Chain A
């Protein structure tokens, strides 16, 4: 009984660490209001050329080839959903992945690491603040893009789509924890993150249906498709598009996508936590925590 009381008390304290970290991160972010506006608006600038390119190629918003590959011919709504959700991947990579590196840049990493708390909860706090910010960015992006180009979605299924999105966010937390550990160990991650970022946008169905990989690369496309399926963004996009896009034909069933997202979230969260704890101990022991 005593044990469980102690456990609860310690958990409450740990969660306080997370909430204060999240609060601090949000405060810092909103102190740079131009950056907040930049990240909210810029994805629309990246999306717009894709839409103009599509219009130049097919002369409207409906593509029969897209319909063959994805069931849905409306490439504009397909793209708006894809790029809004892609914001979460960017956040996992550039936000959470870089969160400890940023402490290093500010010269506060050592102070943070000697604080008397479980460091995992600091990371969790950073993940929470990133999720709040990214959700804000994704909503702004979706609204702006819908106003400019008109998204045609099944609004009645929005709640289901949000539930899938939450599952994807948990899985991406795991990716973020893994990256934090790797970056803590190897320091400068710019080139790696840029590459991973672009590679994910190619093998996951952000701008085009998954089947397009097979359509373009034939047998090699199957391997790329399989790699793409492993990343949590793909099943999440497949399930969310099934809920939101009329007549969307997913490559994997929604049940399978949800099951995979749950399993992969658990695996990634456990692996991420273990790796982070391991790296934390290793950099402390080798004395390279503060090395730049």
Chain B
């Protein structure tokens, strides 16, 4: 395997995906607006409950009562996790819909490069919408995050990404076998929304649910990002979050690759790759 050639494949797939994406401007507009509407809805709800922009109860649970920043940071990190879930599961299903999956699989390159190219394109668009989300939240709701810590936050996100990709690989494999992805990913998205500390700290979850939350890498990424952007923590203070993230990176990348390879082999042997 030539690394340089594989990198070229990743870039070519990313370019192709971005080109396709921009051909549907209504969907682009929708993708830009929707995260803003979700943030908006969550903040109106919070303000209606609390009556001010500071929650005393949240401060006792999460060391910050500034729920706007708390929620916006949670939503930003989860956007990347959800975009990987949807992007990677749709990656091969979309090729199936277009009738190009078999041709893609015949290409003389690693399937992982194709998947990575698709993931990269969805990460790039998500990053753009996240920036927009940050700007609008700052303008409308006076978002109070420490922008000076942004490089540390990005570093943390980079540590978390391999684990998100690993989950995505396993999903792509499952979609190869079971075809229809939307119900499954919808369910996973809802489950993640419940288990991840996006708009509430984990302590409000019943204890048995909390154990499942700790098995999900985005949990550590969200907590870490909040510590950096809201509580001004340094990188050394985040070591208890970074170590589990590195563990999950290795775990999910290995598991995801194994699941994908096993499913790929299975559908190839059964001859069901082209089945719709």
Interface residues of A (CB under 8 A from B): 34-35, 38, 42, 45-46, 48-50, 52-59, 63-66, 68-69, 75, 190-192, 194-195, 198-199, 201-202, 207-209, 212-213, 215-216
Given contacts A45-B194, A56-B201, A57-B58, contact A63 B49 (CB under 8 A): yes
Return the contact of B190 from the options A45, A192, A194 (Cβ within 8 A): A45
A-B pairs, top 3 by smallest CB distance, nearest first, are: A65-B51, A56-B200, A212-B48
Q: Which of B30-38, B219-227, B256-264 contacts A (4 or more CB under 8 A)?
A: B30-38
- B residues 178-235 near A (Cβ < 8 Å) are 183, 186-187, 190-191, 193-194, 198-201, 204-205
Of B62, B186, B190, most buried by chain A (CB within 10 Å of CB) is B190
Q: Is the CB of B199 within 8 A of A53?
A: yes
Interface assignment of B158: CB less than 8 Å from any CB of chain A = no
Tally of A-B residue pairs with Cβ under 8 A? 114
A56 to B57, CA, bound (A): 7
Cα distance A209–B198 in the bound complex, in angstroms: 23
The answer to whether A66 and B204 touch (CB under 8 A), given A42-B190, A195-B34, is no
Residue B45 lies at the interface, judged by CB distance under 8 Å to chain A: yes
Candidates A45, A56, A192, A208; contact of B48 at CB < 8 Å: A208
Is the beta-carbon distance between B47 and A215 smaller than 8 angstroms? Answer: yes
B61 close to A (CB within 8 Å): yes
Flag B80-119 by CB within 8 Å of A: 1 or 0 each: 0000000000000000000000000000000000000000
CA distance A256 to B163 in the complex (A): 55
A199 partner residues in chain B, CB cutoff 8 A? 37
Does B42 belong to the interface (CB within 8 Å)? yes
Residues of A near B40 (CB, < 8 A) are 202
Residues from 54 to 92 in B contacting A, C-beta threshold 8 Å: 55, 57-58, 61-62, 67
A58-B50, A66-B49, A195-B30 given. 8 additional CB < 8 A pairs? A48-B194, A49-B194, A52-B194, A53-B42, A65-B49, A192-B26, A195-B33, A202-B40
The closest CB in chain A to the CB of B200 belongs to: A56
User: Which single residue of chain B is at the shortest CB-CB distance from A212?
Assistant: B48
Assembled-state Cα–Cα distance A3/B9 (Å): 73
Given contacts A52-B205, A192-B26, contact A207 B45 (CB under 8 A): yes
Residue on B with the closest CB to A70? B48
- The interface residues of chain B lying within 8 Å CB-to-CB of A65 are 47-51
CB-CB under 8 A for A58 and B57, given A53-B200, A208-B48: yes
B34 adjacent to A198 (CB under 8 Å)? yes
Q: Is the CB of B191 within 8 A of A213?
A: no
Residue pair B29, A55 in contact (C-beta under 8 Å): no
Given the known interface contacts A48-B194, A56-B58, the answer about A69 and B48 at a Cβ–Cβ threshold of 8 Å is yes
**Interface-central residue, B33, B40, B47, B48, by most chain A CB under 10 Å:** B48
Residues of A within 8 A of B29 (CB): 191
Cβ contact within 8 Å between B49 and A57? yes
27 pairs from A and B in contact (CB 8 Å cutoff): A35-B183, A38-B186, A42-B187, A45-B187, A45-B190, A46-B190, A49-B198, A49-B199, A49-B200, A54-B49, A55-B204, A56-B55, A56-B58, A56-B62, A56-B201, A57-B50, A57-B57, A65-B47, A191-B26, A191-B27, A194-B30, A198-B34, A212-B44, A213-B44, A215-B47, A216-B44, A216-B47
Instruction: Report yes or no: A38 in contact with B34, Cβ–Cβ below 8 A.
Output: no
Q: Main secondary structure on chain A at its contact with chain B? A: helix
Q: How far is the CB of A183 from chain B (nearest CB, A)?
A: 14
Give the nearest-CB partner of A69 in chain B.
B48
Tally of B interface residues using CB under 8 Å: 40
CB distance from A290 to the nearest CB of B (A): 19
* B43 on interface, CB distance cutoff 8 Å: yes
| In-complex Cβ contact of B41 among A35, A75, A195, A201 (8 A) | A201
Asked if B200 contacts A55 (CB within 8 A), the reply is yes
Query: Known: A65-B51, A198-B38. Is A57-B30 also a contact (CB below 8 A)?
Result: no
Q: Which residues of B contact A64 (CB under 8 A)?
A: 51
Q: Which residue of chain A has the shortest Cβ distance to B191 in the bound complex?
A: A45
- A207 and B40 CA atoms in complex are apart in Å by 12
Of B33, B49, B191, B194, the residue contacting A58 (CB under 8 A) is: B49
Residue of A nearest to B38 (CB): A198
A252–B40 Cα gap in the complex (Å)?
24
Which of the listed residues B29, B45, B55 has the most CB atoms from chain A within 10 Å of its own CB?
B45
The answer, yes or no, to whether B125 is at the interface (CB within 8 Å) is no
- Cβ contacts under 8 Å, A35 to chain B: 183
Q: Which residues of B contact A215 (CB under 8 A)?
A: 47-48
Q: Which residues of B contact A75 (CB under 8 A)?
A: 49
In the assembled complex, the CB of A48 is this many whole angstroms from the nearest CB of chain B, namely: 5
Give the shortest distance, in Å, between A194 (CB) and chain B (any CB). 6
Which residue of chain B has the shortest Cβ distance to A198 in the bound complex? B37
A46 neighbours in B (Cβ, 8 Å): 190, 193
Q: What's the least CB distance linking B68 to chain A, in Å?
A: 11
